[in-house]
């Protein structure tokens, strides 16, 4: 197996899909899988591969629709989320077509805000932090090569079907410091909860087309179906919901679907692989199955995504740096309910990051030495 064909797949999924872990405030957790798994080239053998993927971002730019509310930065009232996610994955390749992956994310989030505490008009002393740390929602996925990678074939195609388990704590509490001196304890914001409280189904479809010996095109599509409508966790940060919260459907947190799509080109330059593509990720307004009530911040991010990878022996290291081009916080179902109830158009805002850093490695533990690698463990957007 020539090394060049290993790199054809090295960037099929250098990025994230998730269950996202809010990139600020579009709540998404670090439990999505959008990777073409190792394997498929050795019909006579099995192999086990360990993958680790780390993602960091800082969200702080507020958008309502696709309009940036720059005054939030000028007035120092912006919400800031610092997110660190480490996905650890074991992939077992069974034969030329089948492989399975088990992934668990370790998450650390810090959220700084004023409006949740003393209020945006309370001055610098009103700004406080809430935090979350622990395991996120685990997932197990089965992958099947619809078109097995072979030297004589230009096309490859792979499908994945998995289950996302509600293993992450979706009831993490924090302290909220109010302007009257009281301190309330309640659930932290949806964007930094470790899980969403729902058992979901993940679907993936990945393809590549080899143009020549060193250049190829890749496509990745991922969708998380979350049938549960709400998880019962209060959105009021220690306070009691009002009748309006119940009428609009914002008293408790939603369990939203999530999506990711990637399209780009990958070039192999000896042991180095470079890629450039577009990345679309987000949370829909309406779930495919189940209801869509409860508090959520739907929206999407369209990013330009450069990447680089290097392979030596059994080890492959890689990095991508998606830069946001379009950010849009769309109108949620509760926004629509409030608009109908009051007659005044309502659309909430969300805080987005400018960029995110994804770095990782894949190491073949046993089996044949040649492997196909694609980053495992992805995320969706992040907004406030």
Q: What is the pLDDT of residues 196-251, one digit of tens each?
A: 999 999 999 999 999 998 999 999 999 999 999 999 999 999 999 999 999 999 99
- Residue of 39 and 171 predicted with greater confidence: 171
Distance, in Å, from the CA atom of 324 to the CA atom of 191, rounded to the nearest integer, reads 18
pLDDT digits (tens, 9 = 90+) for 322-366: 999 999 999 999 999 999 999 999 999 999 999 999 999 999 887
Evaluate whether residue 250 is within a structural domain: yes
Give start and end residues of each alpha helix (H) in the chain.
3-7, 71-74, 243-248, 333-342
> 367 falls in which pLDDT band (50, 70, 90)?
low
Average pLDDT in the 134-157 region? 90
pLDDT digits (tens, 9 = 90+) for 300-325: 999 999 999 999 988 999 999 999 99
Evaluate whether residue 376 is within a structural domain: no
Evaluate whether residue 84 is within a structural domain: yes
Distance, in Å, from the CA atom of 37 to the CA atom of 245, rounded to the nearest integer, reads 44
Query: Which tokens is 178 given?
Result: 């109010």
Evaluate whether residue 375 is within a structural domain: no
Sign of the alpha-carbon dihedral angle for 218, 283, 33, 204: negative
Residues 6 or more apart whose Cβ sits within 8 Å of residue 66: 326, 327, 328
Rounded to the nearest integer, the mean pLDDT of the chain is 86
Average pLDDT in the 86-101 region? 94
For 245, the domain range is: 3-366
Comparing 210-214, 259-263, 276-280, 368-372, the range with the smallest average pLDDT is: 368-372
Evaluate whether residue 183 is within a structural domain: yes
CB 355 within 8 A of CB 257: no
Give the best-scoring range by mean pLDDT among 7-21, 25-39, 90-104: 90-104
Average pLDDT in the 96-105 region? 95
pLDDT digits (tens, 9 = 90+) for 38-86: 333 444 468 899 999 999 999 999 999 999 999 999 999 999 999 999 9
Comparing 20-34, 151-165, 166-180, 266-280, the range with the smallest average pLDDT is: 20-34
Residue 153 has pLDDT above 90, yes or no: no
Average pLDDT in the 98-121 region? 96
- pLDDT score, position 12: 39
Number of domains in the chain: 1
- pLDDT score, position 38: 37
- pLDDT score, position 20: 41
The percent of residues above 70 in pLDDT, for the chain, comes to: 83
Residue 32 has pLDDT above 50, yes or no: no
Report the SS3 class of residue 38. coil
Distance, in Å, from the CA atom of 384 to the CA atom of 298, rounded to the nearest integer, reads 10
Evaluate whether residue 382 is within a structural domain: no
Look up the CATH number of the domain holding residue 7: 2.40.128.130
Evaluate whether residue 383 is within a structural domain: no
In this structure, the number of other CB atoms found within 10 A of the CB of residue 93 comes to 27
Verdict on whether the full-model pTM lies above 0.75:
yes
Residue 294 has pLDDT above 80, yes or no: yes
- pLDDT score, position 10: 38
- pLDDT score, position 314: 87
Report the SS3 class of residue 36. coil
CB 79 within 8 A of CB 384: yes
């Amino acid at each position: 197996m020539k090394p060049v064909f290993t790199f054809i797949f090295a960037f099929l999924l250098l990025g994230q899909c998730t269950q996202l872990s809010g990139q600020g405030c579009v709540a998404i957790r670090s439990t999505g899988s959008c990777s073409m798994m190792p394997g498929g080239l050795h019909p006579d053998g099995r192999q086990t591969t360990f993958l680790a993927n780390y993602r960091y971002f800082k969200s702080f730019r507020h958008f309502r629709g696709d309009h940036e509310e720059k005054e939030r930065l000028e007035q120092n009232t912006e919400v800031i989320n610092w997110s660190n996610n480490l996905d650890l994955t074991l992939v077992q390749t069974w034969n030329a077509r089948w492989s399975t992956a088990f992934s668990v994310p370790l998450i650390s989030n810090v959220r700084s805000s004023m409006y949740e505490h003393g209020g945006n008009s309370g001055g610098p002393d009103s700004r406080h932090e809430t935090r979350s740390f622990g395991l996120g929602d685990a997932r197990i996925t089965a992958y099947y090569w619809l078109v097995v990678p072979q030297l004589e074939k230009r096309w490859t195609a792979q499908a994945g079907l998995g289950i996302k388990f509600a293993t992450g704590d979706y009831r993490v509490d924090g302290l909220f410091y109010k302007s009257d001196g009281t301190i309330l304890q309640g659930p932290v914001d949806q964007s930094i909860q470790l899980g969403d409280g729902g058992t979901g189904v993940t679907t993936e479809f990945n393809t590549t087309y080899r143009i020549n010996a060193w250049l190829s095109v890749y496509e990745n599509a991922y969708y998380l179906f979350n049938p549960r409508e709400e998880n019962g966790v209060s959105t009021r940060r220690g306070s009691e919901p009002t009748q309006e919260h119940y009428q609009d459907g914002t008293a408790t947190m939603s369990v939203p679907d999530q999506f990711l799509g990637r399209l780009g080109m990958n070039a192999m330059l000896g042991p180095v692989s470079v890629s450039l593509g577009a990345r679309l990720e987000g949370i829909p307004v309406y779930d495919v199955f189940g209801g869509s009530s409860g508090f959520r911040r739907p929206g999407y991010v369209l990013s330009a995504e450069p990447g680089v990878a290097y392979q030596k022996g059994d080890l492959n290291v890689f990095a991508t740096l998606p830069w946001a081009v379009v950010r849009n916080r769309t109108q949620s179902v509760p926004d629509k309910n409030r608009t109908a109830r009051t007659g005044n158009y309502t659309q909430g805002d969300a805080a987005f990051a400018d960029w995110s850093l994804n770095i990782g490695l894949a190491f073949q533990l046993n089996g044949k030495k040649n492997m196909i690698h694609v980053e495992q463990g992805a995320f969706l957007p992040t907004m406030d």
